[in-house]
Amino acid sequence: MLRNVIAPARGFTQIANVHIWDDELSDAAFRLLVRALALSDAAARKTTVTELAAGLTGGRITADRARRQLGKKGLLHSTKWRNAAGQVRSESLVSSVPLRAEEAEGIFAERRRVGGVGGAGGAPGAGTRKVGRADVPSPGTALPTEGRLGEQTSSPHPVPGAGLDVQAAERVLLSLRQVDERLVLGSAEAARLAPLAAEWLARGVSEAGLKHALSSGLPVPVKSAVALVRHRLREKMPEDEADRKPLKLAMCTGCDRGFRVVADEERCPGCRCAAAAAAAAPSPEPAAPGRLGWRERVRLAGAGG
């Protein structure tokens, strides 16, 4: 994968990398979040979440699922209140960082206080909804035209760690479909999982070994290829060479044979097992004095006769 990144001087929207790499956010939820953050303050007060989601592929079901995902992440909050005229007003809040319910309610309260609750609609443009379909059903909004990218602003594209061969890892992920037709990954899915796969390669696993670890012993059926590959990449991550303990050998004090020391043992496992078995074996009971067997009694009786 090649990259040609040119930071725009204006007409851009900043978003945290954690949202870009969050696999729990669907594409529709991510697009809805970016569209909301791209609005200016004036345009945001006049635009509803329903209008922003009008152009998402999948219709109302996809839009509702996207709203629930953003709400679960604390990025979308909604509230309702009754104004002085007795009308119920509603408003949504989209945040670039997760907010708790009480934090969102504080922002709602401050907006109503500044805009005036006793008016026809509270804050300027807040709570007003258009009747019918949105005017522009595709994106529905225009990107802000003001703003400059400062020198301290980091690139919106995540940069992989040094020493990671992300391109080779992504190539392995995309080749899984050649091993099993159930392991078909999209280019975007492979790009999200590539840093994890590159960590395997950095820990000494070959590309063939990585492909085998991800494609062998597949369950029946494979419900989600990307979920299965992500789970195996995380749970089967090999041990880092730097974290391995050095191998320690010692001579057994009982049999003078070499063995691998796990803790601070002085004897090999065979000698330890033999000593434990000898200690657990019952000791023979001595014969009670004055009690003779039948042979001794016959011998004594013949001698006395």
Q: How far apart are the first and last CA of the chain?
A: 111
Both 129 and 216 in a single domain?
no
Domain extent at residue 261: 249-274
279 is a domain residue: no
DSSP assignment string, 152-165: TPPPSSPPPPTT--
1 is a domain residue: no
Structure tokens that stand for 186 in this block: 């999209």
Of all residues in the chain, what percent are helix, strand and coil, respectively (each to 5)? 45, 5, 50
Please report the pLDDT score of residue 6 as a whole number: 79
Pairing of strands 258-260, 249-251: antiparallel
Please report the pLDDT score of residue 252 as a whole number: 85
Identify whether the C-beta of residue 188 lies closer than 8 Å to the C-beta of residue 23.
no
Both 230 and 262 in a single domain?
no
Structure tokens that stand for 204 in this block: 């000494």
292 is a domain residue: no
Cα diameter, the chain: 134
304 is a domain residue: no
Mean of the per-residue pLDDT values for the chain? 76
Both 61 and 140 in a single domain?
yes
Contacts of 69 (CB under 8 A, 6+ apart): 24, 25, 26, 29
How many Cβ atoms are within 10 Å of 193's Cβ, its own excluded? 22
Both 78 and 201 in a single domain?
no
Both 95 and 190 in a single domain?
no
Question: Would the pTM of this model clear 0.75, i.e. be above it?
Answer: no
49 is a domain residue: yes
Both 81 and 61 in a single domain?
yes
204 is a domain residue: yes
Q: Structural domain tally of the chain?
A: 3
26 is a domain residue: yes
Both 201 and 100 in a single domain?
no
Please report the pLDDT score of residue 229 as a whole number: 92
User: Would you call the peptide bond into 98 cis, given omega within 30 degrees of 0 as the criterion?
Assistant: no
- The pLDDT profile of the chain, 305 residues, written as one tens digit per residue, is 777 777 777 778 888 888 888 888 888 888 888 888 888 888 887 888 888 877 777 777 888 888 888 999 899 998 887 777 778 878 888 888 888 888 888 888 887 777 654 443 344 344 444 444 444 444 444 444 444 444 444 444 444 444 578 889 999 999 999 999 899 998 888 889 988 899 888 888 899 999 999 999 888 888 899 999 999 998 888 876 555 556 677 888 888 888 777 777 888 888 888 888 887 766 655 555 556 677 777 777 777 65
Contacts of 205 (CB under 8 A, 6+ apart): 213, 238
Both 224 and 262 in a single domain?
no
149 is a domain residue: yes
Both 223 and 125 in a single domain?
no
Both 25 and 97 in a single domain?
yes
Both 132 and 207 in a single domain?
no
Question: Of 132, 144, 143, whose CA–CA distance to 50 is shortest?
Answer: 132
Q: Which own/partner pairs from 34-43 qualify as long-range (CB within 8 Å, at least 24 positions apart)?
A: 35/139, 35/140, 35/141, 36/94, 37/13, 37/94, 37/96, 38/13, 38/141, 38/143, 38/144, 39/141, 39/144, 40/144, 40/146, 42/125, 43/141, 43/142, 43/144
Both 21 and 155 in a single domain?
yes
Rounded to whole angstroms, how far apart are CA atoms 198 and 169?
5
Residues 136-179 have pLDDT tens digits of 444 444 444 444 444 444 444 444 444 578 889 999 999 999 99
